[in-house]
Amino acid sequence: MRALIAALVLGCTMFITPVALADSPPEPEPDTAAAETPKDAAEERATQFVGVRGPEAESIPGGALLLGAYAIVWALLFLFLMRMRGLQRQTAEELERLSAEIRASEGQ
DSSP class of residue 4 equals: H
User: Cβ–Cβ contacts within 10 Å for residue 4, how many?
Assistant: 10
Instruction: Read off the pTM.
Output: 0.43
DSSP codes joined into one string, 30-98: PPGGGGS-HHHHHHHHHH-------PPPP---HHHHHHHHHHHHHHHHHHHHHHHHHHHHHHHHHHHHH
Residue range 53-85, pLDDT digits in tens: 777 776 777 888 899 999 999 999 999 999 999
The residue ranges of every structural domain in the chain are: 1-23+63-108
Which pLDDT value is given to residue 85?
A: 97
